Amino acid sequence: MVKEKKIKVLLAQFSLETHSRGIITVASILRDSGMEVIYIGNSTPEQIIAASIQEDVDVVGISTLCGGELVLGRDLLQVAKENGVKDKLVFLMGGIFPPEDIPKLKEMGFKGIFSPGASQEEISSFIKDAVV
Amino acid sequence: MNLLERLLQGDQRAAAQLITLAENNDQEVRKTIRELYKHGGKAHIVGITGSSGTGKSTLICKLAQAYRKLNRSVGIIAIDPTSPFSGGALLGDRVRMQELSGDKGVFVRSMGTRGALGGLAVATNEAINILDAFKKDVIMVETIGTGQDEIEIVKFAHTLIIVTMPGSGDEIQSIKAGIFEVGDIFVVNKADHHQAYHTLAELEAMLDLAPEQKGWEKCVIQTTAIANEGIDELLQKIEEHRQYLIKSGQMQKKRAQRSKAELIEIITQRVREIVNEATGETGEHRNLVEKMSERGEIDPHTAADIILKHLLNISNQ
């Protein structure tokens, strides 16, 4: 019986973000490395988690540069917890934010943080290792 | 509670997980699908097809909202192509349906085709069964952006909507064979386009030329989905078609047609698996393909006979 499991990644940005070039590029990278990418664009934490549940994704990736990543990141993980899926998903954050926020994001529950300069290989292999 | 029990209780996660198991061709889901079957059979399956960029996803979003106003629950399966090279996919239909988020009465699932041809995903039919057992009143299936030939959806949908838009070809395009022969309702979306009238006229002329149909009269509806125009009219037509199918007995025929298509699909998949195993590296007939490809040793038909005997042997064990 042939099993065919694909890694599913949901990519989104918080509501007020306007620059999507980064996330679109990552979407292409992940597609080219064999993953199924569900791109939902600008979304609230509730929308992101609702979509993650219906699409049964493995990974949730957020792209941000507006400065709200600590607050909205926390909201996102809170909604995930309320819906019983916080431990079932791998949360990633990419974009531009102060370096001192990185340990805070990790502590919150973002397993992977990607700043400018992260390579295609780095991002896709991190995901492949994280989803096992 | 197992997955099936949770599904029947209305648990969205269970529905989502079952669809994933179906996509992954997981053994466990086969047992569950057998059980699921008796809980379904009530949903109205509406297929939506048409070229890329005609506005199918936006249209579905608006239709779903209109259905919700009538208190009907909706399931949506949105299909996008899987890359034959990387095996990956960018599933970007859902992004057009963000307005539906937060409404527990709507379940949206994106699927990559994963190698299936004809416009649908490998596990589309099983996903329909799952959403049917999940008690969705209407299940809308959006095919990939199709050209003229991807009509797998015909076998599985009760009502088929073909979406077009102005400016994408002249009257010769519209009379070519394929999807235009099989639609029940035609939609000219983006009807605010200055050529919309022209497209509408061509479609109506094409339908006039078609052989006389008994029973359902194919029709053309204009919509501007993004502005929510024409949606109520379209929904009314879909409902009319559903009523027609029930009254005329055609619904039973469609269900039978779908069951048969399901049967063939399942058998084809199983045979394919057996053949791949038999001709694989550790298979009983691992040298068969090699013998075939070195011309003269074995022809494809003889090879097929060998495999069919193999199949019979397995089934006798």
What tens digit of pLDDT does each residue of B2-11 get?
889 999 999 9
Which positions ≥6 away from B234 have C-beta within 8 Å?
B59, B63, B161, B185, B187, B221, B223
A21 and B CB contact within 8 Å = no
Residue given tokens 């599985």 in the structure block: B156
Measure CB to CB from residue A56 to each of B17, B90, B108 and give the nearest one.
B17
Give the pLDDT of residue B179.
62
Give the pLDDT of residue B173.
60
A82 and B CB contact within 8 Å = no
Ramachandran class of B46: left when φ > 0, alpha when ψ lies in -120 to 50, beta otherwise: beta
A29 and B CB contact within 8 Å = no
CA-angle at A53, arms to A103 and B118, nearest 5°: 125
- B63 vs B259, more confident: B63
Measure CB to CB from residue A4 to each of B25, B90, B98 and give the nearest one.
B25
Model confidence, pTM: 0.91
pLDDT band at B210 (very low <50, low <70, confident <90, very high): confident
Which residues of B fall within a CB distance of 8 Å from A54? 12, 15-16, 107-109
What tens digit of pLDDT does each residue of B59-109 get?
999 999 999 999 999 999 999 999 999 999 999 999 999 999 989 999 999
Distance (Å, rounded) from C-alpha A3 to C-alpha A1?
6
- A14 vs B152, more confident: A14
Q: Which residue of B has its CA nearest to A43?
A: B98
Q: Which residue of B has its CA nearest to A32?
A: B86
Distance (Å, rounded) from C-alpha A117 to C-alpha A69?
19
Nearest one of A41, A60, A33, A38 to A49, comparing CA atoms: A60
Torsional sign, CA B249, B250, B255, B259: positive
Measure CB to CB from residue B91 to each of A33, A38, A53 and give the nearest one.
A38
Measure CB to CB from residue B110 to each of A35, A38, A47 and give the nearest one.
A38
**Secondary structure (DSSP) of A18-82:** ---HHHHHHHHHHHHTT-EEEEEEE--HHHHHHHHHHHT-SEEEEEE-SS-HHHHHHHHHHHHHH
Give the pLDDT of residue B104.
92
Distance from CA of A18 to the nearest CA of B (A): 15
- Torsion, CA A117, CA A119, CA A120, CA A121, rounded to 10: -170
Mean pLDDT of chain B: 88
Does B310 have pLDDT greater than 90?
no
Backbone angles phi, psi at B226, to 5 degrees: -65, -25
Distance from CA of A83 to the nearest CA of B (A): 10
Contact B19 A56 (CB under 8 A): yes
What share of chain A in percent tops pLDDT 70?
97
Say if CB B119 and CB B152 are below 8 A apart: yes
What tens digit of pLDDT does each residue of A47-56 get?
999 999 999 9
Which residues of B fall within a CB distance of 8 Å from A40? 94-95, 98
Residue given tokens 């919150």 in the structure block: A108
Which residues of A fall within a CB distance of 8 Å from B82? 36
Q: Chain centroid to CA B274: how far?
A: 26
What tens digit of pLDDT does each residue of A112-123 get?
999 988 999 999
pLDDT band at B25 (very low <50, low <70, confident <90, very high): confident
Q: Which residue of B has its CA nearest to A88?
A: B13
Give the pLDDT of residue A114.
95
Q: Which residue of A has its CA nearest to B107?
A: A54
What tens digit of pLDDT does each residue of A57-110 get?
999 999 999 998 999 999 999 999 999 999 999 999 999 999 999 999 999 999
Q: A-contacting residues of B 132-151, CB under 8 Å? A: none
What tens digit of pLDDT does each residue of B160-185 get?
999 988 887 654 565 555 666 788 99
Backbone angles phi, psi at B177, to 5 degrees: -70, 170
Give the pLDDT of residue A1.
42
Say if CB B125 and CB B141 are below 8 A apart: no
